[in-house]
Amino acid sequence: MFIRIKKRKNAKYAYLVRNRRYKTKPRHRQKVVRYLGRVLTPEKQPRIKGDITNLTFKESVINLLKTELINHDFKEKNNEFIQDNIKVSIEDKTVTKNNKIVSIELNEGFLNNYTLKELLNFEFNIKQPPLIQGHNLANLLISSGIKLSPSKFLKLFKKIHNP
C-alpha cells in the first residue's frame, strides 16, 4: 500500500491506495483503501538533530519524530505538538486540524493517522531475514517523513537485533 495525493480545487488530499491485480486482465487497478485527509505543508527550519543513543527502539522512534516536528516549527505542549490549529498527539496517535484528520507533508513522506500508528506500533517479524526487516523499517520511516542518515539508521536497526 502507498499514499497517493490528488489535487482538487487548488487543495491536495491524501489517500491510502493499494494495487489490485486481476488474473484475466494484464493491467493493475488501484483501489482507495482510506481517506487520509487534506495535505498541509509546513516550512522546514532545520535546527536540532535527534540523539538516539541510550534509548530503546520505541523511545528512539518517538525522539526522531519529535525532532522532525520541532524542525518544522511545531511547539511541544503536554506530549502534543501544535502549530497554528494543527495538532499531533503521540499518545492518541492522531494528526488533526480543528478536529478533522489531516496529513502533514514532511520531507519525502506524509505524517497522518495511518503512518503514525504504523510507525509507533512497528514490530519486527523474527521469521523474516534482517535485510527485509531493514527494508520494511526504512520504507516506514520514509513514508512517515522522518529523514535519517545511513549511520543513524544503522544505530536504530541495531537496537532491535542487539538490544
pLDDT in single tens digits along all 163 residues of the chain: 888 889 999 999 999 999 888 888 778 888 898 999 899 888 877 777 777 778 888 888 888 898 888 888 889 888 899 988 999 999 999 999 999 999 999 888 899 999 999 988 888 777 888 888 888 888 899 998 888 888 888 888 887 776 5
Q: For residues 130 and 108, what is the distance between their CA atoms, to the nearest angstrom?
A: 24
Helix, strand, coil share of the chain (percent; to 5): 30, 35, 35
Q: Are 75 and 42 in contact (CB under 8 A)?
A: no
For every residue of 4-23, DSSP letters joined together read EEEEETTEEEEEEEEEEE-S
Question: Which pLDDT value is given to residue 163?
Answer: 56
Question: Which pLDDT value is given to residue 102?
Answer: 94
Q: For residues 158 and 57, what is the distance between their CA atoms, to the nearest angstrom?
A: 9
Ramachandran class of 5: left when φ > 0, alpha when ψ lies in -120 to 50, beta otherwise: beta
CB contact burial 65-88 (16+ within 10 A = b; e otherwise)? bbbbbbbbebeeeeeebebeebbb
Give the global pTM: 0.83
Question: Which pLDDT value is given to residue 153?
Answer: 84
Question: Which pLDDT value is given to residue 134?
Answer: 85
Question: Which pLDDT value is given to residue 162?
Answer: 65
Q: CB within 8 A of 67, min separation 6: which ones?
A: 48, 49, 50
Question: What is the number of other CB atoms lying within 10 angstroms of the CB of residue 17?
Answer: 17
Question: Which pLDDT value is given to residue 41?
Answer: 85
